Every structure is written in structure tokens, then in C-alpha cells.
Amino acid sequence: MHVPIDLSAGASRLTIDPGDAGRLTSFIAGGAERLVTAPPSGTPPEEVPFLWGTYLMAPWAGRLAGNRLEWDGQTYDFPVNFRTWAIHGLVLHAPWSVEGADESSASLSCSLDDTPWPFGGTVRQRMALGERSLELSAEATAGERSMPVSMGWHPWFRRPDRGDVSILATSDNVLELDGDSVPTGKETPVEGDKDLRSGPPIGARRLDDVYTQASAPAFARWPDLELRIDWNPPIETLVIHTPEGGFCVEPQTGWPNAPALEGAGIRGTGLIVLEAGATAGVSTTWTW
């Protein structure tokens, strides 16, 4: 059984649960909790891992068409883990090991050999808390075979008790989605409620959209705090999700279903191909 890890820096606090996907379970900044710290009441048990805290998505982010991956001449099927989809990778359901921790940082690792991923490998993540910053970094290392990879973070931010939140995302296009919420590969201009370039309030917008060629930073603004979300390449994709119970600003390296889209001749998906033994790293930094 893993004991939660509590980090602190000045008045800022972060709690990590290695026994629950290495998830951030609490993030206190500016004197208030900023994360959804529990799933909505009545959530089916199988959906609970997806709907709260902040977690890493790997070795893929988003949905796979038909819940399968075609790679190197073979087809691999993955188990449904959320409603009808194999979504957000496999490390959300895998055990994590603590590699190190001190007062303000922690490092964890997860073996992909312990998941249905057929290629093996390892995923690591590190969290480093400052008085007014949080750096999240992750890396994937391939095993003895080449493999496709995409990674990203899925934060569930808390809405304020009073007032509204605004989101600024600098991107001119979103992906067209099919009836199963999987990208078709076509990019369309942001219009209407999907246009977040001016940093509008969320209001009644109910988004679940993939923004392409997104330029850092993005901003989430509560009435009492502005959170700046930075990232560096290979992250160029941003998913914005605004259900009633919270909101998500998700930087990730590639489009959902990127391997199939690349296989169909669509370029610019952000798909990373790791050769045997190679490593790819990503990071995002929150400041307030």
C-alpha cells in the first residue's frame, strides 16, 4: 500500500497518490483548492479514475478508433476502460513506484510490462512544487521494440463557488470528430463557443474539443487567481473539456488516434515514434 506524498513550498501544497495512478489528488494555490478532489456522486466505479484530480495519460492520450492499434504490420486490441472506449492510455490503471521524494518534489515510475501494452517500456513522471509554480514532467522509454507514443496531462480543475472561470487558448483550429468522438483528421476553424483566443468566461459552454497547433501559454482564470499553463514541444495539442462539474485544460503531444491517422497519410498529428531503448520527454509548468 502506497502512502500519499505531501509536497509544500511556502503556502502552496500538493498531494500525490502513487497507489492511484500517481495522481495529483489535491493542489492548493492562492489559498484555495484548485482541483476536483473526488468524482461526482453516483459515478459508476469503473468511471471513477477518469473524473477527478490530475493524471498522466500514456502511452496514448484520448481515444483510439475501434479501441485498436495497428503497428508494424500487426493489430492490437485494447480493453474498454471508459464507457465504450479504450481511452487515455494504460498507466491510469497501473501500479506506480516511488523513485524519490523530498519536501517539494517527487519522482515515480510505471512499468508498461505490467499493462496490456504489447511493446513494453517504462513511463516516469516528476512533480516539483515551488511557492508559485508547479512543474510536471514525464518521459517514456521504449523496450526492445519500436513503439508509438503520445503523452499528456489531464487536470480536473475546480469551478469557483461564486463567479465564473475564463479560459484562454491560442489556437485557430479544432479537430473534426466523428460520432464516436474520434478525430477524422480534418481541422476546422474555431468558431462560436469553441473560440477561446480572447480568454472568454466558460459560462454555458460545454466543450470537449481538440485544439491543434496550440501556442503556449494557456490561461485559466478564477475570480481570485490566474493560472498560466506553459509547455514546450513536442506538445502542440490542447484538449479543452468544460462539463458542469469542473473544467480541463490538457496539454498533450499528439492528437487522439494519431497512429491510425498517420497510417492513413495524415501528417501533423504529433505522433512520436520511439526506437528500441529510446526515450521521449515532455513537460508542462503551471505558475500563478
Specify whether domain 5-287 bears CATH 2.70.98.10: yes
3-state secondary structure 244-264: CCCEEEEEECCCCCHHHHHHC
The pLDDT tens digits for 46-102 are 999 999 999 999 999 999 999 999 999 999 999 999 999 999 999 999 989 999 999
Kindly report the pTM of this predicted structure.
0.97
Q: pLDDT tens digits for 166-192?
A: 999 999 999 999 999 999 999 999 999
Q: Using an 8 Å Cβ cutoff, are 153 and 251 in contact? A: yes
In the numeric block, which cell numbers belong to residue 71?
Answer: 503497428
Q: Is 256 left (phi over 0), alpha (psi -120 to 50) or beta?
A: beta
Cell for 184?
A: 477524422
Mean pLDDT of the chain: 97
Q: For residue 84, what are the CA distances in angstroms to 48, 79, 284?
A: 15, 9, 30
Separation CA 65–CA 266 (nearest Å): 15
Q: What contacts 79, CB < 8 A, 6 or more positions away? A: 67, 86, 116
Helices of type H across the chain: 258-263
Mean pLDDT in residue range 20-36 = 97
Q: Tell me what pLDDT residue 95 has.
A: 86
Cβ pair 94, 21 in contact under 8 A: yes
Amino acid 211 reads Y
pLDDT mean over 10-20: 97
- How far is CA 44 from each of CA 49, 61, 205, 208, 225, rounded to the nearest angstrom? 10, 22, 25, 21, 33
Q: Tell the residue number behind the cell numbers 496531462, with chain if given.
A: 153
Confidence of residue 4 (pLDDT cuts 50, 70, 90): very high
pLDDT at 256: 97
pLDDT of residue 2: 75
